[in-house]
Amino acid sequence: MDSAREIPDAEAKRGDARPQTNTPSGRTASLPSRSLSGQVAVVGVGTTRYGKLPDHDAYDLGVWALTEALADAGLEFGDIDGLIVNRIADYQRFGEITGIDPGFVTITPGQGRFSGICIEMACAVIAAGLARTVALVYGNDGRSAGDRYGGASDLYGSGGAGLWFPYGMTSPGAFHALMAQRHMALYGTTEDQLGEIAVTFRKHAALNPSAVMRDPFSLADYHASRFICEPLHLLDYCLINDGGVALILTASERARDGKAPPIYIRGFGQATALAGSSFPPEDFWRAPMQKVAADVRAMSGLAPDDVDALMIYDNFTPTVLFALEGFGFCPIGQSGPWVADGGLRLGGRFPTNTSGGHLSESYMQGWALNVEAVRQLRGECGARQVAGARHVQYLAAAPVVTSIVYGSAPS
């Protein structure tokens, strides 16, 4: 019998179908179901080289990453019965060139928030028995294709179909500069504190042979880097590069037969702040983050103190501050001093983005951070390994907030 289909029965046996109470906002208090904890595992991860790869388009990068992930898992293309494609233009073409006919397929927009969304969707698909082995495939040829994140072709940041271009407003960077300025005014956050994030992630990247940018820099170098959109400097911005990432997820019961040690998805959650989202959120997305933090904690049974390392979506340095505060890893308004004290560093309170993240490893829009979480828990990270890591949490602060806690054990 398909083990994935046993999950609803297992839930019933555990008596976990607790009554749901409606909150004042109309949300259902006990969603997502706690019984999902540990039911799905990552059994394969694959990454391409990162950088400028002009001989590869997004499809090529996706196939490359998927081939690596399948080899890592000890599986074949024909074993894939669920396919979730992100940033690659067409799922049909992707299936055509890989020769697969999955029983479940979908495609999602090329926004970084969708890495977390896709992984969570894969968990739901597997738990519901719609597929047994889901491949998540991401390919990004943005560097070679000359993607722009500001100006007339800006589709990512300012929205409004160019409504604000007459005032010179454009780019996700400016959106985050506006948020950073407000955080500085409210809490006294400083450029030095933002700089510490960039310096720290570069130090981590120096220990990662796969990272695009590995030369360490100082806070003085940070200040000397030019402003793009003040208060943000060039070194507050993520890279733009080519690359691909793939993950293979399956039901935990099936995962134990695999080639790589399974890494279990212990908890996950999602909340949105779409209303009014053309403008920076006055609360730095705190409300949806607090909801997701509570949901993840309820599902996983794990609190911030149980987490050994963090992977934080770092499109720009301020996002790291917002995530730390919103998810309760430091007090509200205190993220600046907290990072300046070394909280993010290897050996610090919560080693974060040990790969170098989007700022220094590779702009893989959250995908490579989730892979780094898996590799940390497998103990594969060499000089940047967090000794004895058992739980690693991914955090993404955006109009769609997601978080995923990975564990080396299912419970």
Give catalytic residue positions.
Answer: 313, 363
Based on the shown chain and the rule CB under 8 A, indicate whether residue 24 belongs to the binding site for other proteins.
Answer: no
Number of residues that bind other proteins (CB under 8 A): 37
Based on the shown chain and the rule CB under 8 A, indicate whether residue 152 belongs to the binding site for other proteins.
Answer: yes
User: In angstroms, what is the minimal distance from the CB of 73 to other proteins?
Assistant: 43
In sequence order, what are the residues at sequence separation of 6 or more whose Cβ sits closer than 8 angstroms to the Cβ of residue 62?
85, 88, 94, 137, 138, 139, 244, 246
If the CB atoms of residues 1 and 152 are measured against other proteins, the closer one turns out to be 152
Based on the shown chain and the rule CB under 8 A, indicate whether residue 235 belongs to the binding site for other proteins.
Answer: no
Based on the shown chain and the rule CB under 8 A, indicate whether residue 317 belongs to the binding site for other proteins.
Answer: no
Identify the bridge partners of residue 316 per DSSP, sorted by sequence position: 237
**Closest among 242, 264, 237 to 251, alpha carbons compared:** 264
Based on the shown chain and the rule CB under 8 A, indicate whether residue 276 belongs to the binding site for other proteins.
Answer: yes
Q: Print burial letters for 60-89: b (CB count within 10 Å at least 16), e (below 16).
A: bbbbbbbbbbbebbebeeeebbbbbbbbbe
Residue 167, helix vs strand vs coil: helix
Cα gap 267→403, rounded to integer Å: 8
User: In angstroms, what is the minimal distance from the CB of 189 to other proteins?
Assistant: 13
- What's the chain's Rg over C-alpha atoms? 20
CA angle 65, 67, 71 (to 5 degrees): 115
| Binding span for other proteins by CB under 8 A among 6-14, 276-284, 333-341, 351-359 | 276-284
Based on the shown chain and the rule CB under 8 A, indicate whether residue 273 belongs to the binding site for other proteins.
Answer: no
Contact with other proteins (CB under 8 A) among 26, 151, 347, 388? 151
Based on the shown chain and the rule CB under 8 A, indicate whether residue 279 belongs to the binding site for other proteins.
Answer: yes
Parallel, antiparallel or unpaired: strands 82-86 and 104-108: parallel
Q: Looking at residues 170 to 189 of the shown chain, list those that interact with other proteins (rule: CB under 8 A).
A: 170-171, 174, 177-179, 181-182, 185
Contact with other proteins (CB under 8 A) among 40, 137, 169, 373? 169
User: In angstroms, what is the minimal distance from the CB of 153 to other proteins?
Assistant: 10
In sequence order, what are the residues at sequence separation of 6 or more whose Cβ sits closer than 8 angstroms to the Cβ of residue 3?
251, 253, 254
Q: Which residues make up the interface to other proteins (CB under 8 A)?
A: 150-152, 154, 158, 160-171, 174, 177-179, 181-182, 185, 226-232, 275-276, 278-280, 282
